[in-house]
Every structure is written in structure tokens, then in C-alpha cells.
Amino acid sequence: MATKLPSPPRVGMVSLGCPKALVDSERILTKLRANGYDMSPDYAGADVVLVNTCGFLDSAKEESLEAIGEAIAENGKVVVTGCMGKEADVIRARFPEVLAITGPQQYEEVVGAVLEAAPPVANPYVDLVPEAGLKLTPRHYSYLKISEGCNHRCSFCIIPSIRGDLASRRPDAILREAEKLVAAGTKELLVISQDTSAYGVDIRHQPREWKGHEVRAHMTDLARELGMLKTPEGETPWVRLHYVYPYPHVDQVIPLMAEGLVLPYLDIPFQHASPKVLKSMKRPANEAKVLERIRNWRSICPDMAIRSSFVVGFPGEMDEDFEYLLSWLEEAQLDRVGAFRFEPVEGAAANALPDHVPDEVKEERYQRVMDLTARISAEKLAAKVGKTIDVLIDRVDEVAPADEGPDRGHFDAPHPEHHHDVGATGRSKADAPEIDGEVHLRDAAGLKPGDFVKVLVEESDEHDLFGVAV
């Protein structure tokens, strides 16, 4: 008679916040799986629920508290971790029944709390952990965290008080993780940290041996090595750099983009353009001649896409500061832009600054930035119509083609041989998942997530492209 294996305890996970928190969640789940736990997709099937919180903005904190409350109401056994774990007293005051609270990156403490709340069942017959660990993203792309913390003290930010100063990982450990991810099916590596440009500063760019040669703990060296990895099919995975401050040595990465080792994409959090506002923000590298450098970058790598984020309504931002920002954006012609209305965060130095901007002025400035950048985006995307671009497929759906797109034209008519067309959605080299645009394909039968395809662009709107695989 066959032995019936005992059912392992099941853990539910609610992951809030940024991609860095998502990586923390993946590591926690991987450690729990190694301890014999299964994952539950819902509250009802979970023996304990983990809530990975965000504590960056007051609105994010409130969202975290709501998620904790929902998990308690639906399940009852809840462990809290993440950035808001630094405010355990606030959480306890509202939810005294929470089993345990830990701060960000405290993986062992989280696992210990789960072990106590729902002890694992010994099971020597099953290997529970895949080589690349557990993932909350699709199989074909993965976030690769290269460091924790930040050495800057921007006046609007409390991340250093939550996550501490810069702590870089060893380059060989990062490359080993990346190699495993690519071997397991990852087609795109998204490099993340609080400050990717500063990677290795804290460990004096100490080199480590990798594949018979030394690799420095430096953004340029790491990017070059990542760009030399190969998938099991012999393809070169995409390497996308996020959270890059425009330090001088960023110039060294641009030739790697021109060579095809790194995606021609930079995510640079400029936050503003007015020198006065940048000084109040205590932003690093605010004296750099950024516009001139952007022109130089594009002369080396014409296809480069730059995304950034900006804060409007920062304390002391005058009309002339905002007009300066609009003029700067018009000249910079950034490909992707996100904007945020300034929001006071408990513990941030900016709260004490004078001349706070009224909410209605913030809203008006926000709308003007979004209108301007949407026009620039639409113009840039329209210039791609008629061209063939590389696309990584994210999902494939059988949908009525008329459901998507702008003036769909020929997309509206179903194929004469069947009632539904096969549509697919992917991203170009200029599009990071979740935050940028998408490429929508018609006649996509035979494609699957993770495929690299050439796409003829047929239409565009303010944010997305529409076309067909060639």
C-alpha cells in the first residue's frame, strides 16, 4: 500500500510596495518553501498569512493597514513584515491580534514567526524548492536586487531610516543568482536597488572571481557580465537598469547599450529640474549638465529610452520653478514620465520646509506635466509606426480584436475563418513591466509568453504600440 504523504502547511502572501519589496517577498517564500511549506492563493486555504507592507508614503501605510485588517478578518493568523514593520506600535495599536511584526529584509525573523504560527510537517520524499527559488513575477522576467539601502538623505524620503545605508551584494553572488534565473527560463533581468549607480561604493568596488576572471563590484562591470549570459536556447536575455542616478560613470554604460549587451533604457529618478527645488530636495548630482549628457548618450545610442519620475508641488516650488521644469521636459524629450503630487511623509525633513503648495495648485501642475509628457510620448511612439521592433511577449489571449487599441481600423474585423482572433501583449526594449507602455499584437497564434519576436508597428497612441509579428 502506498504511503500517503502528510499535507504541508500553507502560507498566503500579500505583497505591497515597490519591486524591491517584491524581491523580499520572493526570498521569504523561497525560504519557507525550503522549510516544507506550500503556498496558498487565497485566505481560506492558508494556515497563516504574511503581509509584506510598504511604509514610504502615508497613503501607502494606510493601504498596508487595510491589507492587514483584511487578512485578519478573512484568516485570523497574520504575520506582518516589510517597511512598515518599523512602526510596530502603530500596527499593534490597531491590530493587537497580529502574531508577529518584523522589519524589512529580516528574512530569518519572518520565517521563524511562520514556523511558530504554523509548524511544518516533515516530508523527506519531496524536493520543494526549484533551483531559481519561488517567484511572484511571470517565469520569463525577474527582478535582480544588487544592493540594499541608500547613502543619500533626500529631504522628502525616509527610505534610509527604514532600510539603512547602502549595502552592496558581492558581484559573484549576483551573477550566480542571475545565471540560475536565466537557466530557469528568465528572458529579462530587471536590475534594482535604491541607487544602482552607487553599487559597490560601500565595499570599495572589491573584485570577485567569476568564471575564471575578476569582476569588480561596479555597475558597469556587473552590467557587462549580465549582458553576456545566455538562455538555454542560446538567446541573450534582456538586461534593464532601474533607479540609476546620473553620476559621471553612467556614461560608461551607454556603449554597452550600443553593443547590445544592456537594453537601451535608463530609469533615472530626476524628481525635478529647477536648481532651487533640487537643492531643497537635497538631491545628489543636481549640478550635472543633464540635458547635455542626454544629448551625448543619444548620439552614442540613438534608440535609448529614458524614463523618469518627477514631484510637483514640493514645498517652496514657485511658478517660475514649475515653468522651468516644463521647459526642461520639453527639451529633454523623455520617453516615459511619471509624476507625483508632493505628499508629506512622517519623519521626512521636507515636512518642516516653509511655503507648502496648496493642493489645488499641486493638482493643476500635475495635470500640466501629465498633458505635456503624454504629448511627447505620443509623438515618439508615432515615429515608430512602420518600423520593425523587438518585443518580448508577456501574455497571449484569444480576444475579440476590437476590445483593444485606439482607432483600430483593420483590427476591428475578426478573421474570416473564425470568430475570435488570437491577440498577444508584449513589451519593447523601451518598456519595463507594470510601469511603461505595451505592444499589442493581432494574429498572434503560435506565440507564447517569453517569446522574443519581431513586430511591425502599425498604429500607436499616447502610451502603447499596436502591430503584428513578422
Instruction: Kindly give, in sequence order, each residue whose CB lies less than 8 Å from that of residue 210, ignoring residues fewer than 6 positions away.
Output: 171, 172, 175, 225
Three-state SS string over 107-120 comes to HHHHHHHHHHHCCC
End-to-end CA distance of the chain: 56
Q: Which of 168, 147, 121 is nearest to 8 (CA)?
A: 121
- Give DSSP secondary structure letters for 358-374: PHHHHHHHHHHHHHHHH
Grid cell, residue 305, equals 529610452
Fold (CATH) for 141-382 = pyruvate-formate lyase- activating enzyme (3.80.30)
Place of cell 496558498: 40
β-strand pairing of 452-460 with 388-399: antiparallel
pLDDT in tens, the chain (470 residues): 455 556 889 999 999 988 888 888 988 998 888 777 889 999 999 999 999 998 878 888 999 999 999 999 999 999 999 989 888 899 999 999 999 999 887 877 888 888 888 887 654 444 445 556 666 778 899 999 999 888 888 888 877 777 788 899 999 999 999 999 999 899 999 999 989 999 999 999 999 989 889 999 999 999 999 999 999 889 999 999 999 988 889 999 999 999 999 999 999 989 999 999 999 988 865 555 889 999 999 999 999 999 999 999 999 999 999 999 999 999 999 999 999 999 888 888 888 888 999 999 999 999 999 999 999 999 999 999 999 999 999 999 865 444 444 443 434 433 334 335 789 999 999 999 988 999 999 999 999 999 999 999 999 999 999 999 99
Whether residue 180 contacts residue 30, with contact meaning beta carbons closer than 8 Å, is answered with no
Place of cell 536590475: 191
Containing 226, the helix (H) or strand (E) segment is helix 219-226
- Give DSSP secondary structure letters for 14-38: EE-SSHHHHHHHHHHHHHHHHTTPE
CATH H-level superfamily of 388-469: Nucleic acid-binding proteins (2.40.50.140)
Inter-CA distances, 266 with 30, 139, 144, 270, 294, Å: 30, 23, 16, 11, 11
Inter-CA distances, 405 with 189, 370, 466, Å: 28, 20, 7
Inter-CA distances, 307 with 26, 139, 209, 267, 365, Å: 26, 24, 33, 5, 19
User: Residues at the annotated binding site for [4Fe-4S] cluster?
Assistant: 18, 54, 83, 150, 154, 157
User: Residues at the annotated binding site?
Assistant: 18, 54, 83, 150, 154, 157
Task: Tally Cβ neighbours within 10 Å of residue 343.
Answer: 16
Question: Residue 373 and residue 392: Cα distance in Å, rounded?
Answer: 25
Task: Tally Cβ neighbours within 10 Å of residue 311.
Answer: 23
Place of cell 520565517: 111
Q: Which CATH class is domain 10-117?
A: alpha beta
Q: What residues does each domain of the chain span?
A: 10-117, 141-382, 388-469
pLDDT at 258: 95
Inter-CA distances, 121 with 34, 47, 133, Å: 12, 12, 20
